[in-house]
Structure formats: C-alpha cells, structure tokens
Chains A and B, each alone.
Chain A
C-alpha cells in the first residue's frame, strides 16, 4: 500500500513536471519573422528631408518625428536646410539626385519650382514623398493638408457670421502670405469657391503679408480705419496672424471681427485661441502628419516597386480649434514630439 502511494505520487509529480515544462516552452512564444524583417530590412536605407526651412513649428515637428522613427528602425536620416531659399533648395535636390538616397521628403516652396526636378529624381530611382505643400507633379506620395478644403472651411465660417443680415456688415478682409505658395494658391481658390456663392459678401482687402506679423498688423490697422464695420477676416497662417489679431484687439473690435486662421496646431497658436485672438483656428495637426509621413516612408522603403510606379495622395483630416476645445490632444509643443 505504501508502494502504491509512492507510485501515485511519482506519477503525479511526473505529470506536473511535464505540464510545467510545456508551460515554460509556451511562455517563450513564437518568433515573428515579419517583425524581424521590419526591424532589420531598413538598416542601410537613407532618407533625406528638404524643408522650406528649419526653425519653424511645422518643419521642426515633422523632422523630430522622422528622426525618432529613423533611430528606431536604424535607417539614415538627414536634413538639407535651404533656409527659405528656393535656389538653395533646387541645388540641394540636384546634388541629391547624384547622391541617390533611397527616399526624399520634399516640402515645396511653390507649385512650380521643384516640379521638374522631382520627376527627374523619380526617373533616377529615388522615391519621393511630398509633405504639406504640393508641387504640380504627383509623386510616390503626398501627405498633408488639402489647402482648398482649408480655404472652404475658413470661408464657410466667415460666411456663417457675416452673410447679409447676420453681422455688422458683409465686409471681409483676406491676409495672404506669399502669392506663389501652394498654401496661398489653393486656399484662395477654396475661399472664393464659397464666397462667390454668397454674392452679398464683399472682400474689401486682399493683401500679402510675406508671413510677417508686423506687416499683417499694420495692414489690418489700415483696413480697420477704412472699414470700421469690418465683420470677418481670413488669415492664411497662424504665425503671421498674431499680428492681424493684435491690430483687431487694439482697435477694440475683438467681439466684432471674426478672425479665422490656420496652422499646424502648435501650442503657440493655441495660446492665441485661448486669449480670444483667434476665433477659429483650423489645424492640420503636425503630430498626425508626422505619423502619416513615417508610415509612408516605411511603406515606400519596403515596397519592391520602382520609384514613381504608383502614386498616392492622402489629405489628412483637419481639426477645427475654438475656445471650447483647446486642449492637450489638439495642441502640441515641440518637446512632446522629440
């Protein structure tokens, strides 16, 4: 009987041990060959970013995110900064065409300047992603705002406030940046598409500010002198429109003039919404654009297809920021992205 007990205990122990052993083997999991490939296959690839210029919220934000992914996946990432010079940018792309990186991320100063170079680069086998500012050439991918949509949304917001019988008047002012950039050309088209459908709205001023807040301020001050009953204003970029807003505030017309502007959703712009300087801030959400950009970079680097073989466009969704939804989710600082 004692022997039987020993036998049974030994059996139980054996079963337990076998069970444990199996469980341990199960804990070590399965190797996922796709993960290994994902993390190693991009090792010797090279990506180069040619921005309009470094040093402002949009390009610094994208660059921070692209750099982070490059470090994670181990591919090379470089920035060639032309510092607002289209000439320097053209030269940078020309020399890159001979250097042959695997992919270039291009931020176009206007819709024409780089168009031919981008075609040429793709013909040489370099894949191209355009970010936020398009050129006339469609390339492997474009990620960014749909400027026409921004223009439409801005104009709709102003029309809702200033159409006949709604505001103090039907007068609207438009502050543009530089007349040749995609952001201006397409946005104006979107704005006028809506305004033309509302013939009562009068555009009393349409002036270029060269993205300079002080120039924007003095233009708006002059316009408010001529048209003290101005109802709405559309600015093309948050960075310049702090000036527009401060002219409106100074004239004591913050409650009267409805100011719409757009930008990357940087906390600096959000501060202005909180202070009541911007009534509507259309954000194209730089952190989201950075994520999309990173996804497109990996997709293109991994794909077997040749440069220029298939063309993709994704206009990212816009966030309409007003005083009610200025929050952490909608606004970012550069340190968040680093």
Chain B
C-alpha cells in the first residue's frame, strides 16, 4: 500500500542527519569536534587571550576569503589576489621611502590594485577569457611588473615615522584586536551587500545560471568588472592589515600556498566553486575551522610536515564524507562542478 504523499513534521530527518546533509554541516561538526577536543586536551586553549589570538591569526585569511567568495558566488575565481596584495602594498612602501608622503603612497597603491582588478575584469567580461586562466596569468604579470619596475627586494618593512599605521594591525578596540574588528566589519558589510542589495542578488543570479542572468537583463559585463575590482581592493586592504600586523610585507607570499589556503577556506566553508550559492556564514565557518586547527597544532608544538599532513587529511575527509552523504547524481551535478 502506497504511503500518502503528505509530509508530516515528524518525517523531517532528525537534526544530526540534516546537519550531515551539507558540506557546511559536516565542516561545522568537525570544527566543534576539534574545538571540544583541544579545549579538553590543552589547558590554555579556552582562555580569552588564546581565542582572540586564534581568530586574529586567521582574520587576514578570512578577509581575503570574503573577496574570493564574492567572485566565486558569481561563478568566477580570482587567483591573482595574492599578487595584487603584495605588489600594491610593497609599491606603496617603496614610494614612501622614495620621499613621498605616506598617505599619497597608500592612495597610489589602492589605485594600482583597483586598476589591476578592472583590467582583469575587462579581460574576462569583454575578452571572454575563462576566469581561472585570466587571473592565473594576470597574477604572474602583476608580480613580474612589481618585481621588475617597482621594487627589487621582496621584503619591505613598514616605512619609518608612520606610527598611526601600526594601529591597523596591532591596535585594540575594547580589548579586541583591530584585525578581528576589521574582519567582523567586512563580514557585516559583505553580508548586507550579498543579501540586501540588487548587486548581491545579481551575483547569485550570475552564479546560478549565467545565460539566464544575461537574458533577463543583468548588466553582465559591468558586474564582472566590478567583482574583480572589489576582490582586488579587498586584497589590498588585507595586505595593509597584514603589513601593519607583522611590521613588514614579503612579496614572496606570491610563491606560497596562501592562495590555496584562501580557496580552502571558501570551499571548506561550503561555497561551491560552481557558484550561485553560499554566504558570509560559510566564510566565517571555514576561517574559524582553519584557525582552530592551526592554533591547536601550534600549541601542541606539532612538527611542520605533520601539520601539513593533518591539513591535507582534514580537507580530504571533508570531501569524502560529503560525497558519501551527498552522493552525486545527474540532477545535482553541474558542469564545472568539483
């Protein structure tokens, strides 16, 4: 006898099952698990001081991930963020050391970053270059331009006599590090933009179905240019905070795995690379999870190689569990799905 097609409230799967239905839920569970484990095992882990250090150590990563998320939601990707970040900030420092005022130099840095973003956006929007290739190539071009014409040394200290600048990355607001405050403010701002503005809604539309968005009148090309300009500017902001926080910036970050860490945060948090869904909540989740792992492992004084191994295993675990509880089928898979 066939069951009636009425779904009663009791038939909804229990909470834990619903939690494990999504990548986000799985990562959330893993994060809670890691948090509880460290809290029990490590005496100093739960102290306010340590929790602030934890969030702070990943806020810059989180800010970069916000910029990346915006682009990814609209079915793009920006792997040139690190190049933009290190070159624009390093150049601003070099200009200051050459005798110009620091404020003017910072403005020039910002203009450079936004110009780089606009050019990338134009390449993608008007040149129809796939975002991954456009930004990959642009990253090398930006970095190469910087190294050839703007500065010889990769390492640039914050210029002397710029005391107010150190507040950005080293100050406190009511006991909370300014870096964390910046991350929180940007999260709020991005949340508003994504959920309350036409610009935000159009991003989701572009990500879910680019062709439909184009046909229904979304200004596709200007929107694309705007996204990359925003992600480049966010990269510049993150770079300033990073430089202020460590009193220096090292252009060599371009050669590091940082861009993959950003993607890790975005994907781990549950924003699919095929676009159209995800929110600021996912970025926060991914950021905090990576923060818990890094902080716990540093306190445990775990060896460098083992740390990398753990990071790799966790990512693999998240993906495997996800594909077991959410098996792919023809209906859910899309072109470009990872």
Interface residue? A75 (CB, 8 A): no
B154 contact set on A, CB distance < 8 A? 53, 55-56
Partner of B53, one of A57, A179, A218, A245: A218
Least CB distance, A63 to chain B, in whole angstroms: 10
Does A213 contact B247, Cβ atoms closer than 8 Å? yes
B50 contact set on A, CB distance < 8 A? 222, 225-226
Does B157 contact A242, Cβ atoms closer than 8 Å? yes
Residue of chain B at shortest CB distance from A238: B155
Interface residue? A216 (CB, 8 A): yes
Interface residue? A223 (CB, 8 A): yes
Question: Are A246 and B246 CB-contacts (below 8 A) given A212-B256, A225-B44?
Answer: yes
Does B155 contact A239, Cβ atoms closer than 8 Å? yes
B248 contact set on A, CB distance < 8 A? 213, 239, 242-243
B256 contact set on A, CB distance < 8 A? 210, 212
Residue of chain B at shortest CB distance from A213: B246
A55 to B160, CA, bound (A): 22
A83 contact set on B, CB distance < 8 A? 255
Interface residue? B153 (CB, 8 A): yes
Interface residue? A41 (CB, 8 A): no
Least CB distance, A212 to chain B, in whole angstroms: 6
Question: Are A239 and B301 CB-contacts (below 8 A) given A212-B256, A246-B170, A271-B160?
Answer: no
Question: Are A219 and B298 CB-contacts (below 8 A) given A56-B154, A225-B49?
Answer: yes
Interface residue? A112 (CB, 8 A): no
Interface residue? B60 (CB, 8 A): yes
Does A221 contact B53, Cβ atoms closer than 8 Å? yes
Does B247 contact A222, Cβ atoms closer than 8 Å? no
Interface residue? B152 (CB, 8 A): yes
A205 to B302, CA, bound (A): 9
Does A212 contact B250, Cβ atoms closer than 8 Å? yes
Least CB distance, A177 to chain B, in whole angstroms: 10
Q: Which residues between 204 and 242 of chain A lie within 8 Å of chain B, taking CB atoms?
A: 204-208, 210-214, 216-219, 221-223, 225-226, 239-240, 242
A245 to B248, CA, bound (A): 11
Does A205 contact B250, Cβ atoms closer than 8 Å? no
Least CB distance, B325 to chain A, in whole angstroms: 33
Interface residue? A78 (CB, 8 A): no
Partner of A222, one of B53, B60, B251: B53
Interface residue? A250 (CB, 8 A): yes
Q: Mark B233-259, 1 if CB is under 8 A from A, else 0.
A: 000000000100111111111011000
Instruction: Give chain B's interface secondary structure class.
Output: helix
Q: Which residues between 33 and 58 of chain A lie within 8 Å of chain B, taking CB atoms?
A: 53, 55-57
Does B152 contact A205, Cβ atoms closer than 8 Å? no
Interface residue? B295 (CB, 8 A): yes
Does A207 contact B155, Cβ atoms closer than 8 Å? no
B242 contact set on A, CB distance < 8 A? 214
Q: Mark A265-284, 1 if CB is under 8 A from B, else 0.
A: 00010011000010000000
Question: Are A57 and B153 CB-contacts (below 8 A) given A205-B298, A219-B298, A222-B299?
Answer: yes
Interface residue? A60 (CB, 8 A): yes
A334 to B153, CA, bound (A): 9
A55 to B154, CA, bound (A): 5
Partner of B250, one of A211, A223, A249: A211
Q: Which residues between 278 and 303 of chain B lie within 8 Å of chain A, taking CB atoms?
A: 294-295, 298-299, 301
Starting from the known contacts A60-B153, A213-B247, A218-B56, 9 additional A-B residue pairs (CB-CB under 8 Å) come to A84-B252, A179-B304, A207-B301, A212-B250, A212-B252, A218-B57, A242-B248, A243-B247, A246-B245
A-B contact pairs, 11 of them (CB 8 A): A55-B147, A208-B304, A210-B256, A218-B53, A219-B298, A221-B53, A222-B53, A222-B54, A250-B170, A268-B155, A268-B157
The 9 A-B pairs with the shortest beta carbon distances in the complex, nearest first, are A208-B304, A218-B57, A243-B246, A213-B246, A242-B248, A246-B247, A225-B50, A55-B154, A214-B246
